[in-house]
Amino acid sequence: MAGIIHGREALVLAVTLWTALFINDFLLLSGGALVLAPGWLSSVLLALLLAQILQRLHGLPRERALGLGVLAVLMVAAGQAAFDVTAIVALGPHLLPGGLGVPGFAIAATFDEAILQFRMSLLWNVATFGFYAAALSLLNAERRKLDAEMRALRYELNPHFLFNTLNSVAGLIEEGSAGRADRMVLSLSRFLQTTLSLDPLHDVPLAEEIALQRDYLEIERERFADRMRFDIRLPDELATALVPNLILQPLIENAVKHGVAASRKPVTIVLEARREGDRMVLTVENDLPEGGGISRKPPGMGVGLRNITDRLQARFANRWRLSSGPTAEGRYRAAIEFPLRQA
């Protein structure tokens, strides 16, 4: 039901919904704020309790989760109805002289009237809490859809480096280069451990993203030995800026695949972060291989760039930009730009 909805989202939805109802009731019952305020507070608290209950139904079979969800709505609605009637009976005569009633009710003078008010309140609260539960479910469905899309995009990242790395480790062991093989395995272990634990919906500080890419570049540098160098330029002021996790991975992989692997001469990869006003700009540059200067986008780069495009669009709507192409200095540059946000 509520699934991956966060408590803050449930709170915002609850406060918004019952505040709107409170304002409506207050306008219909001038001077009844003291009667309505406790009902507003109890409604919000019961809504948060309902959100927690629905959250715990996640993972159950659909039919069972739906049945228990409906039961939970009925229970909190009954609890709110009992509170409403109690407040009306206990506070109404003192705060609303002359027999005035809260919207849809009159001050109950007999047990039968109290029962009637309870039934009316129960129906109203079933509808209201049912709407709240439905809104949570719809919000949850959107979050699940986005989560699935982001995970699919994350796992679309080129995994071939893993196989290449393992082959390189085997080759180093055969050559007797145990030290290089050890370093490669350790870097690969850190890289895989970190990437598998990342939540695709959560941003990370730029320093963490850079550290992860450094591990990846260390792996690739062991593979290509003296043919590859890299330079990372990260200003201290941007170390805590938030970025989508692994957003640089396709750019780094492309620089290795289409720059280092395709060249017979040494290639330098430069990863740079800079601030431009209220925007963050991340660039990855690499030397072009021999004869590669005329190509605007090397073959095979489309998957990585499309992955970044889809993730940035899902995360920032239209507030991002991606550009790539050869430079006048005989290098290839890819740059992504999006709003700067600090942790």
> CATH for 156-339?
3.30.565.10
pLDDT range class, residue 167, cuts 50, 70, 90: confident
Domain with CATH 3.30.565.10 in the chain: 156-339
pLDDT of residue 343: 76
User: Long-range contacts of range 37-42, CB-CB < 8 Å, 24 or more positions apart?
Assistant: 38/83, 38/87, 38/91, 39/80, 39/83, 39/84, 39/87, 42/80, 42/83
pLDDT range class, residue 66, cuts 50, 70, 90: confident
Highest-pLDDT range among 173-182, 185-194, 319-328: 319-328
Give the burial class of 146: count Cβ atoms within 10 A of its Cβ; 0-12 exposed, 13-18 middle, 19 or more buried.
middle
Token pair 């709407």 in the structure block, residue: 131
Whether the model clears a pTM of 0.85, i.e. scores above it, the answer is no
Cα separations in angstroms, 32 against 22, 25, 50, 96: 10, 9, 27, 7
Model pLDDT for residues 301-315, shown as the tens digit of each residue: 566 777 788 888 878
pLDDT of residue 303: 67
Residues 46 and 41: their CA atoms lie apart, in Å, by: 9
